[in-house]
Amino acid sequence: MALLGYTIPETKEKVRDGSKRQTIRKLRKRPIKVGERLYHYWHLRQKDCEKLRESICKKTFFISLLIDRDGFWEIRQFNSHPSQASQSYRLNGDEIWELAKKDCFESSTGMVETLRRMHKIVADSRTFFQVISW
């Protein structure tokens, strides 16, 4: 069982109506597994908390985001959990756009800026995420 909370207003109805079927989350101590039940909430652990839907995890994979001091960034996808010294490859522009589009972002840059802001990513540090699809 995994709780997924949402705070970006544009995502609330998209999660509820099923048009958003993927999310990118900072890597957890216990990553979400395929087949696990997902509980989606608006404003989780707040007074106006609202259950949006339940689903089953269909697919997961891991990515990392590196933003340098000049604002250039790269996203890498990993074959397995990053702590297992797995191989990774750099995503190209089309692959990054697909990732952003599936997560209901208007652009790749918008996705990166949202992740940077939400997770307070500092320059020259690699941040790991799990992509979760349902």
CATH fold of 2-133, please?
2.30.130
| Domain boundaries defined on the chain | 2-133
Q: What is the pLDDT of residue 101?
A: 96
Q: How many CA atoms lie within 13 A of 99 on its CB side?
A: 27
Q: What is the pLDDT of residue 84?
A: 85
Q: What is the pLDDT of residue 117?
A: 94
Query: Is this model's pTM higher than 0.85 or not?
Result: yes
Q: What is the pLDDT of residue 98?
A: 97
DSSP string computed for 63-117: EEEEE-TTS-EEEEEESS-GGGT--EEE--HHHHHHHHHHTT-S-HHHHHHHHHH
Q: What is the pLDDT of residue 71?
A: 87
Rounded average pLDDT per 10-residue block, the chain, 134 residues: 94 96 96 98 95 98 94 93 87 97 95 95 93 98
Q: 3-class DSSP state for residue 121?
A: coil
